[in-house]
A and B are shown apart, each in its own frame.
Chain A
């Protein structure tokens, strides 16, 4: 048996700088990261990029130590070129280019969203699922069709994670606010009258956000505002998932991205999946948030399909859509 291919992947699309190492037999050998925590409020791209540049070499060292792999054993460098925040993306891209040039090995351009899908498929061991990708920056319901992951529903404005994080911030919770909003929701009793916005297959959270804050100002209990925000937004997502399942008749559902850690959302989607006779899978915690391992694993799939990029073409793509990427390894 020939030696497995070994790929090192770099993630830096938002607040996480991550380095992972994956092999062609589906092993994750390392998953190191350092997450930028803003002193107040959300992410400031430039401050975040500064953080990434500072931690890059130590995270890389950590990944190499975890994996017990030497740099010269690595076959190619994978990097998330987008979508994400420009200044942050450029730190990861620069590190990746440097490594590829130094080691004289190919560079692989990975789409960050595709990586969230592929790591979830690997860990759930499913071939062709309906994918729910929810995080601070993304809210999409996707499935593979005719060579690409097609988006069957997505947010028209802010992402689900961003909606709950921003609400948490306004309520004075530390970043990321989502966890605290959910915790507070546990002691909520009343469901408030707020907008529920599903447009065809798409979702919108901005009206819900404004109305939730308005309710708070008008004297609603903070617990009830949190309960309502969580229940409304998750129900909206579940409805779109249900529509996609009814149409596509997929036999499995995977939940991926940072918001995948939510127990309430997991429980709701479990019911939705069972109503449509589909199995339900959640990406493990360590691969839910942004991470380098998912970039490395997607790099493996792309490398096997012969996809690499010349250094001088490897510019970052802050608005790179998932449905623009060809997926030859699914055929």
Chain B
């Protein structure tokens, strides 16, 4: 059997987003996620390839960096720059969104640890960019972060504030009852990692962003 055939054995489209398609399949017999960045017809074709290639590489690089600082992220199996595709480990578990919907008190237990993880990312100059409760997966009693598609290397406090702001918005809109207590625990864990001074500056940024009321999270189009 040809290895190439095994590698591109995508079976089921899980999600079609604004920027990419997520397929579930197998890679060398392992269950795997295939994330493919799709071309944009409005862009100059060469520029389109440049952008998709940069983002594919950047996403993979940031995931590798996250792994180095002991954050649980899917292991990357392969990168294909012809298809603009990242093949990675399939994390089969419950999303934090599912847990919070079914058993909020059980979900809250993860808040402090989530804060620690976000703190570690920011301390290492990484902004996740899309911290929704569906991008957090609990598997074997371990917390995983997925989808680094909008992640960036950044030192701007504004970007860190934006990360937490997005999370708090999602909590407010989807998990209203526990939003405040959940966020309080997240910020506790966060402060324990980045320290009081930075945490306060970032919290101030969160407040500014909220008052400006203009950062609206991009919901990927789910079809």
Interface size class, chain A? 20 to 34
B18 contacts which of A150, A191, A232, A242 (Cβ < 8 Å)?
A242
B18 in contact with A152 (CB, 8 Å): no
A10 interface residue (CB < 8 Å to B): no
Residues of chain B lying within 8 A (CB to CB) of residue A60? none
Residues of chain B lying within 8 A (CB to CB) of residue A275? 41-42
**A201 touching B215 in the complex, CB below 8 Å, given contacts A196-B54, A242-B18, A268-B42:** yes
Main SS of the interface on chain B? loop
Bound-state CA distance A253–B54 (Å) is: 29
Main SS of the interface on chain A? helix
> How far is the CB of B128 from the nearest CB of chain A, in Å?
12
Instruction: Tell me which residues from 55 to 99 in chain B have a Cβ below 8 Å from any Cβ of chain A.
Output: none
A247 in contact with B44 (CB, 8 Å): no
Residues of chain B lying within 8 A (CB to CB) of residue A69? none
Closest Cβ neighbor of A276 among chain B residues: B221
A200 in contact with B215 (CB, 8 Å): yes
Residues of chain B lying within 8 A (CB to CB) of residue A243? 18, 218
A231 in contact with B43 (CB, 8 Å): yes
> How far is the CB of A268 from the nearest CB of chain B, in Å?
4
A247 in contact with B159 (CB, 8 Å): no
Bound-state CA distance A235–B159 (Å) is: 22
A152 in contact with B43 (CB, 8 Å): no
Bound-state CA distance A142–B215 (Å) is: 12
B41 in contact with A150 (CB, 8 Å): no
B43 in contact with A246 (CB, 8 Å): no
B217 interface residue (CB < 8 Å to A): yes
A271 interface residue (CB < 8 Å to B): yes
Bound-state CA distance A193–B221 (Å) is: 30
Bound-state CA distance A269–B218 (Å) is: 19
B218 in contact with A246 (CB, 8 Å): yes
> How far is the CB of B41 from the nearest CB of chain A, in Å?
6
A235 contacts which of B43, B152, B214, B220 (Cβ < 8 Å)?
B43
Residues of chain B lying within 8 A (CB to CB) of residue A34? none
Closest Cβ neighbor of B217 among chain A residues: A247
**A247 touching B47 in the complex, CB below 8 Å, given contacts A200-B162, A268-B42:** no
8 shortest A-B CB distances, which residue pairs? A271-B42, A191-B46, A268-B42, A231-B44, A243-B218, A151-B214, A235-B43, A191-B47
7 pairs from A and B in contact (CB 8 Å cutoff):
A196-B51, A200-B215, A201-B216, A201-B218, A247-B219, A269-B42, A272-B42
List residues of chain B with CB under 8 Å of any chain A CB.
18, 40-44, 46-47, 50-51, 54, 129, 152, 159, 162, 212-221
**Given contact pairs A269-B42, A275-B41, a sample of 13 additional A-B residue pairs in the complex whose CB atoms are under 8 Å apart:** A152-B216, A191-B46, A199-B159, A200-B129, A201-B214, A235-B40, A239-B40, A242-B18, A243-B18, A246-B218, A247-B216, A248-B216, A323-B213
List residues of chain A with CB under 8 Å of any chain B CB.
150-152, 190-191, 193, 196, 199-201, 228, 231-232, 235, 238-239, 242-244, 246-248, 268-269, 271-272, 275, 323
